[in-house]
A and B are shown apart, each in its own frame.
Chain A
């Protein structure tokens, strides 16, 4: 009984992690510019990887593997915002114009972003 509850919990965690990974990947395609896409990538870093690693922790039980998985998660959550920040800063100094709804010369990409949906 206990094993079944754990197994369901593990699957729920792994699948919801996978959901955030897929949604993040979809966001990479759908969102209009590098800055908005970073938010989608951040989703895969935080909840995508996080839920999958926690799911693996529950699967492995209480042992050294669990501790190592939690260390992976900790290092990931410490380093990924720094990578994101470096990317944003590089994009800004490289002259990338952030997409805005009002944005003059970016207007065409606005309609593309709205029309390019799943409809």
Chain B
């Protein structure tokens, strides 16, 4: 129930700045639209920990800056690979086990891997991740473990 209210609040907070109309009629339309959307979602039973992960907001605020910094660093590394006159790519597909307990945690980890250039998640079966890396060192290094650990902390399910 609490999560339904959260969803309504988030939808309305998204609708308001995008519409930028504050006349009563438009506000009424906004409230109506959000209510219908939340009602349909609740009836379908899809308002849960995965679709409205408000439990992640605070830990996510800590994770996001670190992720952006990682994205920046690997962007610079891939840019260097592309701009080096003699192209030194050593791509390979690596399998490894991820430590997340929930599908949501794995989803966040897989997307984080794909968002950092140089590594792309090509498949997940259970906790087995299949990742394509542009140079093998991208995936062998400790940074992938660091990301794995941080997503487990973000997930916060308690091991």
Contact = CB atoms under 8 A, between A and B. Distances in A.
Genuine A/B complex: yes
Contacts, number: 113
A39 B123 contact: no
Contacts of B93: 98
Contact of A82 (B71, B82, B111): B111
Contacts of A116: 87
B102 interface: no
A67 B15 CA distance: 12
A35 B91 contact: yes
Nearest to A41: B117
A67 to B, nearest CB: 5
B122 A88 contact: yes
Interface residues of A, number: 44
Contacts of B114: 42, 81, 84-85
Interface residues of B, number: 33
Interface stretch (B4-12, B42-50, B72-80, B142-150): B72-80
A113 to B, nearest CB: 5
Given A20-B79, A64-B17, A89-B122, A43 B86 contact: no
Interface of chain B: mostly helix, strand, loop or mixed:
mixed
A114 B91 CA distance: 14
Contacts of B90: 100-101
A19 to B, nearest CB: 8
Nearest to B130: A92
Given A43-B117, A100-B92, A119-B85, A20 B132 contact: no
A49 B86 CA distance: 27
Given A64-B20, A68-B17, 6 more contacts: A27-B78, A31-B87, A39-B119, A42-B78, A84-B120, A116-B87
25 contacts: A24-B82, A26-B83, A30-B82, A31-B82, A35-B122, A36-B134, A39-B117, A39-B134, A40-B78, A43-B78, A64-B20, A68-B18, A71-B18, A77-B115, A84-B114, A85-B110, A85-B120, A88-B120, A88-B122, A88-B132, A89-B123, A98-B91, A100-B90, A113-B89, A114-B87
